[in-house]
Every structure is written in C-alpha cells, then in structure tokens.
Amino acid sequence: MDKEINIQQLKDKVKKFCDERDWDQFHNIKDLAIALSIESSELLEHFRWKTNEEVKNKMNDSKKLEEIKDEMADVLYFLLRIAQMNDIDLSDALDKKLEKNNKNYPVEKAKGSNKKYDEI
C-alpha cells in the first residue's frame, strides 16, 4: 500500500480523522511533539536490552510485530499531524535534510567507516 498512497493523502486522512472528532482544540505543536516523543519511546521499549537475535525473534512473532506496527503508526500519525496542521511539506523537508547530510557525511568519507560522525 505504501506504493499506492502519497504523503498528502496520509495527511488528509489524519486531518479527516481529527476533524470528525473536533480535536484541533487539543492539538498544538507542543503537545503533538510531546506525543510524538512518547510514542517513539514506546516503540523503543520493544527493543530495550534486547540482543539482535531477540529483536529478530520479536519481528518474527506476529503478536509482537503487530504491537511494533501499532507504535510505528502512532509515531507516523503524530508526525503527519504536526506537518498537516503547520503546512509543512515533509517530502521537501526530507530532501533538504538529505542535502545537508550529504554535505556533512560525504560517501567517500562515511561509507564503510567506523569513525564517529564528529570525526568525519
């Protein structure tokens, strides 16, 4: 389905969902950013103190994978909501950030390197 829907369509879905519930009154950028951080932390809880093998097993467990997908959807929801309410073009923001990262971490210095990023 990722190949069939664009970011604007996702933002529109989120807007419709929130409009139907009259949630604009509760959603401001500060509270949405806090919610985004909380949901990101809930996603991280699934991996805390786990070995790579334990994570792999978790991702192969349909119940655990469903829980992880739910947390990922929550993170995406709040990111989309922030962008939708503040007229932020996420595709453009990503392109600009990748351009900055390309300058900061050029392939010839970063590829295959185990140096800390601040040493590149």
CATH number, domain at 53?
A: 1.10.287.1080
Domain annotation covers residue 119: no
Taking residues 29-53, report their average pLDDT.
98
HSE (side-chain half, CA atoms, 13 Å) at 52 = 0
pLDDT at 74: 98
CA-CA-CA-CA torsion for 47, 52, 55, 56, nearest 10 degrees?
160
Q: State which amino acid sits at residue 114.
A: N
- Residue count of the chain, please give it: 120
Examine the pLDDT at 116 and tell me if it is beyond 70: no
Question: What domain range includes position 85?
Answer: 2-113
User: At 118, is the pLDDT very low, low, confident or very high (cuts 50, 70, 90)?
Assistant: low
Domain annotation covers residue 9: yes
What's the domain count of the chain?
1
HSE (side-chain half, CA atoms, 13 Å) at 3 = 0
Taking residues 9-15, report their average pLDDT.
98
pLDDT at 112: 83
Taking residues 22-37, report their average pLDDT.
98
